[in-house]
Chains A and B, each alone.
Chain A
Amino acid sequence: MSDETVLEVRDLHTHFFLRRGVVKAVDGVSFSVRRGEVLGLVGESGCGKSMTALSVMRLLPRGGARTVSGQVLLNGADLLTKSPREMRDIRGQTISMILQDPQTSLNPVFTIGDQLREAIVRRTGGNRSDVMREAVAALRHVDIAAPEQRIGQYPHQLSGGMKQRVVGAIAMSGHPEMLIADEPTTALDVTIQLQYLKLLKRLQRETGMAILFITHDFGVVARMCDRVAVMYAGRIVECGPVREVFEHPSHPYTQALIASVPKMTGTVERLYTIEGQPPSLMDLPVGCRFAPRCPHADERCLDTYPDSFLAGPGHTADCWRLA
């Protein structure tokens, strides 16, 4: 692993401007991913993980979503200042993404060969037989048996696990340096999940690409990631090497999350839960967003958002208790 940073996100703010008010889905997110590194982004549903990913790709949904400030530096160049045309050349080639649900991420009326070839032609522009050969190779590369036959089939003729591998093949057909995987295994059967994770890990080692791995599953983080960033209510509250964060969680939210993962050892006890609800993203607290649910919160936590403090080697957390 080199120290070269592929993707650096600085103070990213993405808001939804709705008639009812402004939803601050991403509110001051910063992180960086180095070449060959897998960064896990964990957090509960609705905390802004996917919006962070879509902001980076500049593929925010229509209807009021806008990145209002921040920087997204891909190999040092800010994607937020790129023209749509420049962005198209970057997407799929330098940075790519795997979506969550394989059932809906392939176009039902085109064969998987068609959809794969489109992506390959973007990179090579090559002639038909070359592209065809490369498409078959790409399918074989993601462990699809008999790719010559599969290539002529439609998405509904493939299983969920197979579809997600095809999505992977499409996403990686441009040999991206940076891949965003947005909960790629959430919609898969448990037995297939492990296969898919192994495949991703293998492809990552072979190509040396960096991965931003979005999940809500700590088990997956432990298996896949080098570092982990924990997100809560639109902000990253803790970030560090996976081992370090697991062994010394420093933000009360991370501590609570890890405590709520059921353990297979020891006596059976009640599952740990975090009291209360995350704050509304339309009406965020001025201070620490976790303060209303935090057992350690005091005056300062409610008044001022904490700075990032060093909690260990390469490990930071936004909590006043570390000051």
Chain B
Amino acid sequence: MTRYIVHRLLQGVVLLCMVAMIVFFLGRLTGNPVDLMLPEDATAEDRVAMIKALGLDGPLYQQFFIFVGKALHGDLGDSIRMREPAVDAFFSRLPNTLALIPWAILLAMGVGIPLGVLASLNRGNMIDRIAGIFAVLGIAIPGFFLGILLIFVFSVQLGWLPSGRMGGPEHYVLPVITLGAFLIAGFMRLVRSSMLEVMDSEYVKLARIKGLSEFVVIWKHCLRNALIPVLTLWGVFVGNLITGAIITETVFAWPGIGRLTYEAVIYRDFPLLQAVIILKSMLILSINLAVDILYAYVDPRIRLA
């Protein structure tokens, strides 16, 4: 078990190095942040001085090694725009995103899993088809469109819910729906197909031979087995939510790490962008590891090695 975890952590380090490299060079392809920061009447000397002050002079590889050297000491640089350490900016916004994600997962599972079971029990008939249409819509409607649609209907037209910013429980409703919608479909389709597989198994037959009620057969014997493949994808889903938060938080002016990522890109805030992407990757990697460990507890046949 310890060996497994150490192995996974080492894999993670390699992955993080690649992520750091990609985000560093890809970011710099977008242009120079100085152009966005200086007033239009700035002189060429002002520009050179600014570039120097931000450490953007010198060849790219040199900049990269300075960045890596500092990063190894835990220093991911200061945000150009906010003039504070990028890591601090990330961690001050992280709780706001984490306040959103569990609700989105809960919504997706709470709606997606029962829908999947219902669809599997009604394979081929009307209920299955309606659930299928629901799933396709959930995947096909992009987050920015759904978010704006929800704002239009529930905030602008009906005036029931606030259109953005953090606040009381009513502020959570629309962002959570926007963030969780495409996962509902994911859970539903996965549960449906694995339920269909499980329902034909011999142990389900034995459960019926015992005279168990259909409710126990379906929701205990079948679902517990059907959820194993779902759990594997949990890590992927959470990753999707963290990246999906960029759109949701931007649409709803939600001060989380998704919005922070968006701002870092828009303002070419390289140190912030690098920090946000690397820290997010670390977050996703640790969630994936946690899910794999949890997996071994749910399915007793799995021994991590």
**Which segment of B254-262, B281-289, B297-305 sits at the interface?**
B297-305
Set of chain A residues within 8 Å of B224, measured between Cβ atoms = 107, 109-110
Restricting to A91-112, which residues have a CB under 8 Å from any CB of B? Answer: 91-93, 96-97, 99-101, 104-110
Bound complex: CA of A91 vs CA of B209, how far in Å?
A: 6
Set of chain A residues within 8 Å of B205, measured between Cβ atoms = 59, 99, 105
**Which segment of B62-70, B95-103, B164-172, B211-219 sits at the interface?**
B211-219
Q: Is the CB of B200 within 8 A of A92?
A: no
Q: Is the CB of A101 within 8 A of B210?
A: no
Within the complex, what minimum Cβ distance (angstroms) separates A309 from chain B?
36
With known contacts A59-B205, A99-B206, A101-B202, A108–B300 Cβ distance under 8 A:
yes
Within the complex, what minimum Cβ distance (angstroms) separates A45 from chain B?
17
Q: Is A212 an interface residue (CB 8 A)?
A: no
Q: Is B160 an interface residue (CB 8 A)?
A: no
With known contacts A154-B300, A154-B301, A156-B301, A108–B203 Cβ distance under 8 A:
yes
Q: Is the CB of B299 within 8 A of A57?
A: no
Q: Is A90 an interface residue (CB 8 A)?
A: yes
> How large, as a class, is the contact surface on chain B?
20 to 34
Q: Is B199 an interface residue (CB 8 A)?
A: yes
Q: Is the CB of B225 within 8 A of A97?
A: no
Among B200, B206, B221, max chain A CB count under 10 A is at B206
Q: Is the CB of B202 within 8 A of A104?
A: yes
- 22 inter-chain pairs at a CB distance below 8 angstroms, sorted by A residue, are A57-B209, A59-B205, A61-B200, A88-B211, A91-B208, A91-B211, A92-B209, A92-B210, A96-B209, A105-B205, A105-B206, A107-B204, A107-B207, A107-B221, A108-B225, A108-B300, A109-B299, A118-B207, A122-B212, A156-B300, A171-B206, A174-B210
Set of chain A residues within 8 Å of B202, measured between Cβ atoms = 99-101, 104-105
Q: Is the CB of B200 within 8 A of A62?
A: yes
Interface string of A112-152 (1 = CB under 8 A from B): 00000011001000000000000000000000000000000
Within the complex, what minimum Cβ distance (angstroms) separates A54 from chain B?
8
Q: Is the CB of B209 within 8 A of A97?
A: yes
Within the complex, what minimum Cβ distance (angstroms) separates A117 from chain B?
11
